[in-house]
Amino acid sequence: MNLRIEALAEVSYVIPEGRLDFDAAPGFQEAVERVLGGAGKAPAAVIIDGAALEYVSSAGLRAFLLIARAAQRAGTSFALCALQPAVRDVFELSGFSSIIAVHADRATALAQAHQGRA
């Protein structure tokens, strides 16, 4: 899995590309936690842009759960957006969409983050 990070002033976008399976999940979690703990100061918001995320298994869900908790500890709002249908299904079936905010696109995710509700 490839991972791109776009760090802006108040929000960091994380863009995973490919498969978030048992093999990719630990590295993904570490990378996002580095963004959260980053150079001294945590960003106000971290948003995962899922447009290129093709697959998430329970190992990937575990990573998202641990990242969401780390974000909460850091006082950073955390959300996902632009999930592909198959990935959105996994989030909904597992009930994760009730504990991690999932938005249609970056603009919506960012607006919600600014209102402190992401």
Partner 1 sequence: MTVQRTAVPADAAQLSVLNQFLREFWTAAALAPAGMRPFELVLEEIFMNIIMHGSQPGIAPQVEVSLMLAGDAVTMTVEDDGTQFDPLSLPPPDVTASLADRRVGGLGVFLVRKMMDTVSYARIAGRNQLRMSKRLDG
Q: What are phi and psi of 21, to 5 degrees?
A: -110, -170
- Our CB check for partner 1 shows the closer of 11 and 56 to be 56
Interface residues toward partner 1, by CB under 8 A: 21-23, 55, 57-59, 61-62, 65, 68-69, 72, 86, 90, 93-95, 98-100
- Least separation in angstroms between CB 2 and partner 1: 17
Q: 93 in helix, strand or coil?
A: helix
- Least separation in angstroms between CB 39 and partner 1: 26
Task: Point out which residues pair with 14 in neighbouring strands.
Answer: 5, 48
Cβ-Cβ contacts under 8 Å for 76 (sequence gap 6 or more): 36, 42, 43, 44, 45, 46
- Least separation in angstroms between CB 55 and partner 1: 7
Q: Which two tokens stand for residue 10?
A: 């108040």
- Our CB check for partner 1 shows the closer of 7 and 65 to be 65
